[in-house]
Amino acid sequence: MKSRIAELKSKIEAYKHYTMHDRENNFTPSAVLVPLLVKNDEFELLLNKRTNDLTHHKGEISFPGGRLEKTDDSYLACALRETEEEIGLPADRVEILGELDATPVISRYMIKPFVGIVPYPFEYVKNKDEVDKIFSVPIKAFMNPEVHSITVNRFLNLTVPIHYYHVAGEMVWGATGRIVTNLLEVCFDFVPEKYHDFVKEYGDPREQMDL
């Protein structure tokens, strides 16, 4: 498994992620951890379900993370701080593999995602004000073509896909769905067929955003 983790890290390091620096001033800077754990010798993705008491994206599936604070030394520090606040996982228990594409969202946040290996088993402690439940989904589940769908939307004057993954009795979509799609492509050499068709018809919106 160590060799497989090293392979993931190499793939992320070799990937030229889209930064979208020119758009950051128009968005609230934020960061998330994309937590991968190893269970039964397979990778699973750790996810949160947000409570219905939050201002934005209530009840949605998300990664642990939040807005950049003045006390954060970096976007990565932000992601790790928020992870500990939300699910009780200390920063020193996370093995960071690298960064994926910056992801702008309609609520005017610019999310920087960092992939990290997290321990399993581990007694995660959810922040009851923010997190309704913590659960994991095998990476292979996201590769089933039957769980994935796309709708087409307009955002930042571009035609963009909205990804939906129906897994573990939940719907993963929005920014989280985009980050999952990016993770599958970069780390697991998998592009959902419907996304491949979208890019063929409309082009890759990331290339147009990253001016």
Domain ranges of the chain: 2-200
Residue 53 pLDDT > 90, yes or no?
no
CB 126 within 8 A of CB 140: no
Say what the pTM is. 0.95
Give tens-digit pLDDT for 28-44. 999 999 999 999 999 99
Q: Where residue 59 falls among pLDDT bands split at 50, 70, 90?
A: confident
pLDDT value at residue 115: 98
Topology classification of domain 2-200: Nucleoside Triphosphate Pyrophosphohydrolase (3.90.79)
pLDDT value at residue 108: 87
Contacts of 3 (CB under 8 A, 6+ apart): none
Distance CA 133, CA 54 (A): 14
A 10 A CB-CB count for 112 gives: 24
Give tens-digit pLDDT for 113-169. 999 999 999 999 999 999 999 999 999 999 999 999 999 999 888 899 999 999 999
